[in-house]
Amino acid sequence: MESTAENNQNTPQDPQQKHPQPPYPEQKQEVPGTESELQPKADHGEKSYRGSGKLTGRKAIITGGDSGIGRAVAIAFAREGADVLISYLNEHEDARETAKYIEEAGQKAVLVPGDVSEEAHCKTIIQRAVEEFGQIDILVNNAAFQMARESLEEIPSEEWDYTFRTNIYAMFHLCKAAKPHMRPGSTIINTTSVNAYRPKPILVAYAATKGAIQNFTASLGQLLAEDGIRVNCVAPGPIWTPLIPSTMPEEDVQTFGKNTPMKRAGQPAELAAVYVLLASEDSSYMTASTVQVTGGTPTI
């Protein structure tokens, strides 16, 4: 089942028919999942995204940049003229594939594996970016962990703690370490979720962190305004990434996105332009804001 999208992001298309609709094939992956096993393959804008120099000369960090939304953002940023550091857990093959696209766009790619749930590693990411780039203009806090659980009793305390350390603690540590290296005009972009507004009962820990990210962004955007640093977030709906078959029940994977007005899961490529907007001067009067990309699911 392949995407029907043409290789031109400017060609108008029926949004319901633009990408594959459920049911999706039966599949299960080990956490955190890999792009090579995902069926149908996700669209990260490899063939469709065309840059126009919006981020020329910028230096960006993207956590969770090896696959999914992070890969789509990395491709877009590079094609807009940015050098990109990719932080990822241990998906080395996916990370190298993303780096290939960055380098094909003529930009520098830096790969930093490790666990962002650890404060020391967050500091290492920032230090490495400064060593490689000399500055930090864009920080995209995108890495996340989730695990579906059918009951409260099934959630291990260690998993609850790890979810919060990965999804929200890491943002605090990364932002705090990066701020001294960010000039006025720099931007921070956090990935929240439609679950901040419509939390799923099987994603109690994940949804709680996404609500926290929402408020963290709103507070930090106000706090850093006097420093000339803008902070915004993106709230995706159901997006087709390796995270889904590696963490969700198989029956939910097959129908993923069906309940949205678009009747399908979104593709990572459909979020990339929003991150470019928030990273560029086109959003110079936006801070403490959230952009929803939910396939039509209301967030109000």
Domain count, the chain: 1
Q: Is the sign of the CA dihedral 276, 90, 117, 292 positive or negative?
A: positive
pLDDT of residue 1: 39
CA distance 258 to 33: 22
Q: pLDDT band at 32, cuts 50/70/90?
A: confident
In a domain, 298, yes or no: no
- Read off the pLDDT of residues 217-252 as tens digits, 9 standing for 90 and up: 999 999 999 999 999 999 999 999 998 999 999 999
* Residue 285 tokens, joined: 């009067």
Residue 242, CA atoms < 13 Å, CB-side half-sphere: 22
Q: Is 13 left (phi over 0), alpha (psi -120 to 50) or beta?
A: beta
The answer to whether position 161 is within a domain reads: yes
18 domain-assigned = no
Residue with tokens 């990066």: 178
Q: Is residue 68 one of the residues assigned to a domain?
A: yes
Q: Let me know if residue 8 belongs to a domain.
A: no
Q: What is the CA radius of gyration of the chain?
A: 18
Whole-number Å distance between alpha carbons of 237 and 129:
30
Q: Give residue-wise pLDDT tens across range 70-82.
A: 999 999 999 999 9
Q: Tell me, yes or no, whether 203 lies in a domain.
A: yes
Give domain status of residue 43, yes or no.
Answer: no
Give catalytic status of residue 275 as yes or no: no
pLDDT at 9: 66
pLDDT digits (tens, 9 = 90+) for 168-217: 999 999 999 999 999 999 999 999 999 999 999 999 999 999 999 999 99
At residue 270, the 3 state secondary structure works out as helix
Q: Is residue 225 part of a domain?
A: yes
CATH code, domain with 158: 3.40.50.720
Which of 30-34, 46-50, 224-228 is least confident? 30-34
| Confidence band, pLDDT 50/70/90 cuts, at residue 8 | low
- Supply the range of the domain harboring residue 258: 55-293
Nearest-5° Cα angle at 104, 6 to 236:
55
Q: Which two tokens stand for residue 218?
A: 């709103």
**Position 4 pLDDT exceeds 80:** no
Q: Which residues pair with 189 in a beta bridge?
A: 140, 232
Among 24, 101, 206, 275, which one carries the catalytic annotation? 206
